[in-house]
Amino acid sequence: MRKILLSSFLLVSLAIFAQREVPIAYGDMDNWVTRHIKESSIIGGNTRLVYEIGPNTDVYKNEAYKNMGGSPWGSANVYAKVAGVEKSSTSVFKEKRGDGFCARLETYFVGVKVLGLVNIRVLAAGSIFLGEVKEPITGTKNPQHWIKSGIPFTKRPSAIKFDYKIKMSGSPNRVYHNGLSPEKEVAGVDYPAVILLLQKRWEKDGKIYAKRVGTMVVRYNKNVNEWQTGTYKILYGDITKNPAYKEESMRIQVEERYSQNSKGEMVPIYEVGWADADETPTHMILQFTSSHGGAYIGSPGNTMWIDNVKLIY
């Protein structure tokens, strides 16, 4: 009996020992670039703080941001230059947590109003993701076009792990506001979400195609007031028959995303099907967002806190 118990203990110990947690670079959220963006005098000339996940440093120039210090993270925080007016938008904030920091992602209305020139008010969701933004933003049309989505990645993790808190807006419906048309109500609750997609990509005639290798999507529907640690399994291959599959959030090509082709052009990623379960990916998409519905759709007040992002092998 003792031998059986000892053997069982050793097997469990080996399984635990075999599991490795690998932090994503800068995923501890303790290091931030602080950009000091001076907005145009015609809208007040204030200097706004715009935060990026990267090495601790300050940038005092109104210039296009490129990921610094080897950071793989982009965010919804941007520098915009619309009709000659320089403005910033911040929906991701660094927030103190213990001896370090975490990321706070918020959904809210942001606008710029210049009498006789431009009057734009849009709904912005807080979002951090693996990739980068092509600045400066010059308009509100097709916002995904500005985002290079995903990073090169050829490993096969079993799960993702991170710390989180959630505050729901409490609204039963969402709003759509893109700054170009009247505000509209969108049916359904707005969910903070985490999306991890492993893709095998290739390029043909300047177009980028992909098959889905791995999938993990989680949406939150209630407040989480105290810090929790979540561990979520990555599902491989065609998961449409898996009990965990959710058509709305996990299907092929849930939303349009962009990347840069070999010519340096920003082009859509055409996700065309499921890869074999044992396939090796070429890229990883990972996004944390305070609103799940895509550009300009959400409920003001939705908030998500994220810290200590790791992959498990």
**18 — phi, psi (to 5°)?**
-70, -25
- Domain residues for the domain of 296 are 21-312
pTM: 0.90
- Whether residue 68 is contained in a domain is answered as yes
pLDDT of 57: 98
CATH of the domain at 228: 2.60.120
| Residue 241 contacts residue 301 (beta carbons within 8 Å) | no
- List pLDDT tens digits, range 109-137: 876 665 555 556 788 999 999 999 999 98
Residue 295: pLDDT band with limits 50, 70, 90: confident
- List pLDDT tens digits, range 204-216: 999 999 999 999 9
Percent of the chain whose predicted confidence (pLDDT) is above 70: 90
Whether 142 shows a pLDDT value over 70: the answer reads: yes
Whether 13 shows a pLDDT value over 70: the answer reads: no
Instruction: Give the number of other CB atoms < 10 A from CB of residue 19.
Output: 11
- Whether residue 31 is contained in a domain is answered as yes
- Whether residue 7 is contained in a domain is answered as no
Question: Whose CA is closest to 67, among 81, 78, 54, 77?
Answer: 54
pLDDT of 14: 47
Total domains present in the chain: 1
